[in-house]
Structure formats: structure tokens, C-alpha cells
């Protein structure tokens, strides 16, 4: 079995895969040593991979590597099943490359726009067997926080399931402005991508993906576990290449 540990900007995710099948998935703001120990105890784990967009705490690697024979940390030196054409791979957040790996594994050879809507929104472009790069934009929570922090009187807004546009009050106005602004942005990216790429598809993932998927004006393939699946695929690929 494989352990997948994804440390994001706001959320940590742990998953266990038996070959390509996910048998456990848990997310939390943070995991303590005791929690990690209890989660891993029932499973016979052969290898693991850690993906972190922040500096990796030493205790995480020490705790995991004590009981798992092979632990891989995803870096720009990691072997990938596709060509990485990003000019500064050392600055590329590993969760972006993991999402692309998940898309490549699910739909090899396709032209894919991967939209990862979390703390940030990233737009990554996969063309056949080559990762072409992508763009980075503020996510929903960052937009709400920016409006609150950099103005004198605006309250801290939040995503609403229903809101009027134009907004009938300040909270609605913020929710409509932030949500619609991001949706318009996503729709424009999709439109440009589909105009320039034949046999293309759109994959949406990330913590805000579930909220956005039915609001986007285009058909998208919603894959909430894309990063976890991609990390599992990278782990298996590097095992074969070692």
C-alpha cells in the first residue's frame, strides 16, 4: 500500500492507496504525531510520497520514514512520466505538478487544462506528453481577505450558496463580486484554451472545486482527488524507474 501526504497552504491531506484504488482519505488543518500514528497503524504501507508547498517539518518525515521502508519527497528532481517545460522547475509548487500528473494518468495524450481552485487558483496546461506551464491567480478566500484587509469598512465576506447580482446588501455584493469575478476569469481561460486546442478537456479540482463546478459556464470534469491520484502515480512511476 502507498501513503500519500499532501501539505497545502491551508489544508493537509492524507490518503492510502492500494495500487490505484484509494482506501482512505482524510483532510485536516494539521495532523499531530499521535493522529498520524493512529491513522497509519492499521495498514501495511510499503512506500510513501510527501508533497508540500511549505517548508516540510522534520518531524513529519521522521515519523513517516520510521515505519515505511521507502519515502519519496516530491521535488523538481523527481522523475515524471511527461516532459516538464517549465523554465524554473525549482519554483514550481509540487501540488501543481501532482495535479498535472493526475490528469496525465487519467487521460494520457490529451490536451488538458487543469484548474486547481484552492487557496490559489492555478491554470496548468498539459499538451499530450508535455507540461507547458500555467498561470496563478488568487483563490476565493484570498480575494475575500484582500477586500477586508485593504479597505477601511468592508466586512470579511464568505462564499454564499445563493446571492443576488447585483448584490442587495454589502455581504451579497462582496460574494457576487468575488464569486462572479472568479467565474468570469475561469470561463475566459476555458474559452481561450478550447479555441486553441483540439481534442481538449477541462479538469477541475481543489477545495473550492465543488462550489464552483456547477457555476462555471462550460462542461468540466470534476476530480476532487486529482492531486492525490497524481501523487500516487508519481510514486509508482519512480518506483519502476529506481
Q: What is the pLDDT of residues 142-171, one digit of tens each?
A: 999 999 999 999 999 999 999 999 999 999
Report the 10 Å Cβ neighbour count for 83. Answer: 11
Angle (CA) 167-172-175 rounded to 5° is 115
**More confident call, 65 vs 14:** 14
| Closest alpha carbon to 184 in 208, 212, 223 | 212
Chain centroid to CA 99: 6
Q: Which candidate in 6, 18, 62, 95 is catalytic?
A: 95
Q: Which of 5-14, 89-98, 116-125, 148-157 has the lowest mean pLDDT?
A: 5-14
Cell digits of residue 165: 447580482
Asked if 46 and 68 touch (Cβ cutoff 8 Å), the reply is yes
Determine the Cα–Cα distance for residues 46 and 71; give it in Å rounded to an integer.
9
Integer angstrom CA distances of residue 207 from 34, 121, 193, 196: 25, 10, 23, 28
Question: Rounded mean pLDDT of 184-205?
Answer: 94
Cell digits of residue 70: 521507502
Asked if the bond preceding 166 is cis, omega within 30° of 0, the reply is yes
- What domains are defined for the chain? 1-73 (3.30.420.40), 80-242 (3.30.420.40)
pLDDT at 12 over 90: no
Q: What is the pTM of this model?
A: 0.92
Asked if 141 and 8 touch (Cβ cutoff 8 Å), the reply is no
Pairing mode of beta strands 2-7, 47-52: parallel
Is 214 a catalytic site residue? Answer: no
Amino acid at each position: 500500500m502507498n501513503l500519500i501526504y499532501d501539505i497545502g497552504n491551508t489544508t493537509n491531506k492524507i490518503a492510502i492507496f492500494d495500487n490505484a484504488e484509494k482506501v482512505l482519505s482524510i483532510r485536516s488543518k494539521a495532523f499531530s504525531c499521535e493522529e498520524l500514528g493512529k491513522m497509519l497503524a492499521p495498514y501495511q504501507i510499503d512506500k510513501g510520497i510527501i508533497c508540500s508547498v511549505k517548508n516540510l517539518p522534520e518531524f513529519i518525515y521522521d515519523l513517516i520514514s520510521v515505519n515505511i521502508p521507502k519515502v519519496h519527497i516530491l521535488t523538481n528532481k523527481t522523475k515524471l512520466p511527461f516532459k516538464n517545460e517549465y523554465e524554473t522547475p525549482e519554483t514550481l509548487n509540487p501540488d501543481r505538478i501532482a495535479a498535472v500528473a493526475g490528469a496525465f494518468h487519467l487521460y494520457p495524450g490529451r490536451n488538458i487544462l487543469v484548474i486547481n481552485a484552492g487557496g490559489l487558483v492555478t491554470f496548468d496546461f498539459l499538451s499530450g506528453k508535455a507540461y507547458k506551464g500555467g498561470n496563478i491567480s488568487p483563490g476565493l478566500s484570498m480575494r475575500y481577505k484582500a477586500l477586508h484587509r485593504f479597505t477601511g469598512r468592508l466586512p470579511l465576506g464568505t462564499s454564499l450558496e445563493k446571492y443576488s447580482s447585483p448584490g442587495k446588501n454589502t455581504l451579497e455584493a462582496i460574494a457576487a463580486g468575488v464569486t462572479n469575478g472568479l467565474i468570469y476569469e475561469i470561463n475566459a481561460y476555458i474559452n481561450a484554451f478550447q479555441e486553441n486546442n483540439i481534442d481538449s478537456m477541462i479538469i477541475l479540482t481543489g477545495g473550492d472545486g465543488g462550489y464552483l463546478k456547477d457555476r462555471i459556464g462550460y462542461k468540466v470534469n470534476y476530480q476532487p482527488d486529482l492531486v492525490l491520484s497524481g501523487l500516487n502515480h508519481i510514486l509508482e512511476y519512480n518506483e519502476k524507474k529506481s
